[in-house]
Structure 1
Amino acid sequence: MTARPLAFRLLVAAFGVLVHSASVLAQSPSQDEALAAFAVQLAEDVAADNVGGIAAGVMVDGDLVWAQAFGWADRDAR
């Protein structure tokens, strides 16, 4: 195998990886969208499971990026 066809194959493979990576990134939700979806799911779970309430937080690289409480502090007094 000569160097030219090998280089061309590597270039085509690298381009394929780049295109695939871009499409995967385009499909990934933003952090804000992911946190919003997580909050909706937690609210639905609290209501469906009939728990009093929960508090949740998400940390990224040691920083608290989101925190929220769901439900009731005193379920009997609601």
Structure 2
Amino acid sequence: MIEKIIYRFFAPAGALLADHNHFRGINLVRFGANLNIMLDRKDYEGISILDLSIDMYHSITNIKKSRALTGNWNW
């Protein structure tokens, strides 16, 4: 009984931390003036949630830097 509980709950948690996994990732999308205009899109799939958070942080900081350089703060 306890082996089933461990396998069911802790194995997926361990897989999320693994370098390569079979879980769907996250789509990071930056929209323009409305939802019909996509300015940037990145797909993160099959990577560790730690790598995912680092990559998303870098993407967001790059967006902020580009807005600061161009002076365009409008969505």
TM-score by length of 2: 0.37
More helix by share: 1
TM-score under structure 1 normalisation? 0.36
Higher relative contact order (CA 8 A, sep 6+): 2
